[in-house]
Structure 1
Amino acid sequence: MQLVVYLLFYPILWVFSRLPFRLIHFISNGVFYILYNVIGYRKKVVYTNLKLVFPDKTEKELVQIQRKFYRHLCDMFLEMAKTMGMSKKEAMERYKLPNIELLQELTKTKTVLVVCSHYANWEWNTSINNYIDAKGYGVYQRIANPYFDKLTRRVRDRWDTSLITQQETIKTVISNEKNKTISVYGMVSDQSPMVKKGQYWSEFMGIKVPIFKGAEQLARKLNLAVVFLKVSKIKRGYYNAELIPITQNGSETKENEITERFLRLAEQQIYEAPEYYLWTHRRWKHRDKVPTEYQNKET
C-alpha cells in the first residue's frame, strides 16, 4: 500500500517541481480557498493557539493572522514540492544569508549547531550548505512511508545535506568530533515532547511547556558553537536568514542558558510576524501538566 501511495503522488510532486513559481503561487491561491474555506483544516487548533499566546488581541486581529498563516502554509507546502526541481543557483537566489560570513568563520575551527523553529520555510534551511565548506547535516523525523523517506533524503542530497534522525544525531556528532570532522547540524528545536520526555519546562510565548534540550546537551558536552537561524519572508518564494550567535563555546555556558536563549529568540521572531509560524502544531498541548517543581518557578 505504501508503494501504491508513493506511485500515485510522486508524479504529481514531480509536475509541481517543474512549474514556474508564478504558477505555483497561483495554484496556492486556489488551495488556500479550499483548505481554509471549504475543508477548514485544523482551523480550531490554529485559532486556539493564537488566542492562547495573544490573549490581548481582538477576534478580528486573530482571524487576520489566521488567514495570513493559511496563505503562507499553502505557499510553503507547494514550495517544498518545488524543491525537487530547484537548482543550487535558484535556491541561492531565493534563500539569502546576508551574514553567512559568521558561519563560515566559525566552521574554520568549530562544529556548529544551527537551531531554528518551525517558522517561514524551514525546509529550505538546508540550502545553507550551498554557502559553506563544512559537512552539513539536517536532523529530521523519519517519514513513515519508506519510499517518501528515501525521496526526501535524495532531494536534500542535491544541496549536499545528509539527513539524520534524532536517534542518529548523538552518535553522528560524537563520531565526527572524534575524527575531527568539522560539521554543521541543522535542528528544528521547538517540537513538543511527551510529558515524560520533557527534560525541562520553561515559558514559550508566555505559556509553560516541556522543552527538548538536545542541542544544549551536545553543545555543552562537546564544546560546540550554537547559532540561531532567524528567517524572514521577504515576499512569496523569497527568504532572508540571519545568523544570530548564541555561544561559540558551549562548555562555557550555564545549564539551560542555551535553551533559554533559543526560546527568547524564537519568541521574538514569532512576535514580529506571527503568520509565518506553524500554528497547526500543538505546541502547547501539555500546558496543564506542569510538574510541581516547575510551577511558579522563575526561568
Structure 2
Amino acid sequence: MQFLVYIIVYPFLWLISILPFRLLYIISDGVYILLYHIIGYRKKVVNSNLRLVFPDKSDKEIKTIQKKFYKHLCDMFLEMVKTMGISETALKKRFKLKNPEEFKRLEALNKSILLMYGHYASWEWSVELQNHISYKGFGVYKKLANKHFDRLVRNIRSKFNTTLISTKETINVINHNETKGIKSTVAFLSDQSPRLTKEVYWGKFMGIKVPCFTGAERLAKKLDLTIAYLKVTKVKRGFYEAEIMTLAEQPKDYKDYQITDMFLHEVEQQIYNAPEYYFWTHKRWKHREKEVK
C-alpha cells in the first residue's frame, strides 16, 4: 500500500517541482483557498494557539495573522516540493546567508557545531548552508512512516550534500564523528513539544510554561561542542535570509537550560516581529499546565 500511494503521488510532486516559480505561487494561491476557506485545515488549532499567546490582540488582528499564516504555509509546502527540482544557483539566489564569516569563525575553533532551528520562515531551504561550510552537514529529522517518501526526502537533501539522520540515530552519529575526529554541523529543530516525562525541562515559551527539548544543549555540554541559532527571516515571497547567531562557544560555562532558554528567546522575538511565519498548526502548547511533579 505504501508503494501504491507513492507511485500515485510522486508524478504530481515531480510536476510541481519543475514548474516556474510564478506558476508555483499561482497554484499556492489556489491551495490556500482550498486549505483555509474550504477544508479549514487545523483552523481550530491555529486559532487556539494564536489566542493563547496573543491574548491582547483583537479578533480582527488574530484573523489577519491567521490568513497570512495559511498563505505562507501553502507557499512553504510547495517550496518544499520545489526542492526536488530547484537548481543550486536558484537556491543560492532565494536563500542567502547574511554572515558566512561567522561560520568560518566557528569552524576555526576546531569544534563541531550544533545549529538550533525554530519552525519559523523556511527551514527546508536551509540545505543551502552547506555551500558556506567545510564541515559535513547533518539534519536531524523525524523518520517518515512511508519508507518510499522517506527515501525521497533523504535523496533530495543529499543532492545538496546534507545528510539526514533520524532522531534515533542522532546520538550515535555525533558520537561516532567525534570519536573519529570528524567535524560536523548538525541541525536541530528544537522548538517542538517533547514527550511528557518527569525529567523534562519546563521553560517559558511565549510567556507560557511548557516542556522543552534540551537535546542540543545536553549534547553540546557533554561533548564540548559549539552551539548556535539559525535565524531565518522571510524577505518576500520565495526569498529568505539567514543569520548565524552564536549562543555558546563554551557551553559548559552556562547553567543548565540557560542555552535552551536563550534559543527560545530568539524564536520568540521573531514571532513577535512577524507572527504569520511561525508554524501555528503544530500543537506546541498542548502540555501546558501539566507539569509532572
Structures share fold, TM-score greater than 0.5: yes
Give the superposition deviation at 1:197: 6.9
Give the superposition deviation at 1:33: 0.6
Q: Residues 13-92 of structure 1: matches in 2 within 5 Å?
A: 13-92=13-92
Give the superposition deviation at 1:126: 2.1
Assess if the C-alpha contact under 8 Å between 1:16 and 1:24 holds in 2.
yes
Do structure 1's residue 186 and structure 2's residue 184 form an aligned pair?
no
Do structure 1's residue 220 and structure 2's residue 213 form an aligned pair?
no
- Per-residue CA deviation, residues 135-174 of structure 1 (Å, 9 max, x unaligned), is 0000000000000000000000011000001111111111
Assess if the C-alpha contact under 8 Å between 1:32 and 1:74 holds in 2.
yes
Q: How many residues align?
A: 292
CA distance in 2, matches of 1:182, 1:239: 27
Match of 2:240 in 1: 239
CA distance in 1, matches of 2:67, 2:12: 26
Give the superposition deviation at 1:252: 2.1
Assess if the C-alpha contact under 8 Å between 2:198 and 2:292 holds in 1.
no
Match of 1:205 in 2: 206
Unmatched 5+ stretches in structure 2: none
Match of 1:230 in 2: 231
Give the superposition deviation at 1:288: 2.4
Match of 1:297 in 2: none
Match of 2:122 in 1: 121
Assess if the C-alpha contact under 8 Å between 1:222 and 1:251 holds in 2.
no
Identity over the aligned pairs, expressed in percent? Answer: 52
Match of 1:265 in 2: 266
Q: Residues 115-194 of structure 1: matches in 2 within 5 Å?
A: 115-194=116-195
Cα 1:198–1:262 change in 2 (3 A) is farther
Give SS of 1:232's match: strand
Give SS of 2:240's match: strand
Give the superposition deviation at 1:88: 1.4
CA distance in 2, matches of 1:88, 1:197: 45
Give SS of 1:167's match: coil
CA distance in 1, matches of 2:279, 2:70: 10
Cα 1:287–1:89 change in 2 (3 A) is same
Match of 2:107 in 1: 107
Assess if the C-alpha contact under 8 Å between 1:16 and 1:82 holds in 2.
yes
Give SS of 1:139's match: strand
RMSD of equivalent CA atoms = 1.0
Give SS of 1:149's match: helix
Q: TM-score, normalised by structure 2?
A: 0.98
Match of 1:295 in 2: none
Match of 2:250 in 1: 249
Assess if the C-alpha contact under 8 Å between 1:222 and 1:250 holds in 2.
no
Would you identify which runs of 4 or more consecutive aligned residues in structure 1 move more than 2 Å? none
Assess if the C-alpha contact under 8 Å between 1:231 and 1:239 holds in 2.
yes
Give the superposition deviation at 1:198: 5.8
Give SS of 1:230's match: strand
Q: Which amino acid aligns with 1:190?
A: D
- Per-residue CA deviation, residues 193-240 of structure 1 (Å, 9 max, x unaligned), is 121276200110011111111000000011111110111101111000
Give SS of 2:143's match: coil
CA distance in 2, matches of 1:242, 1:26: 29
Assess if the C-alpha contact under 8 Å between 1:198 and 1:212 holds in 2.
no
Do structure 1's residue 274 and structure 2's residue 268 form an aligned pair?
no
Q: Which amino acid aligns with 1:54?
A: F
Assess if the C-alpha contact under 8 Å between 2:197 and 2:292 holds in 1.
no
Q: TM-score, normalised by structure 1?
A: 0.96
CA distance in 2, matches of 1:223, 1:44: 43
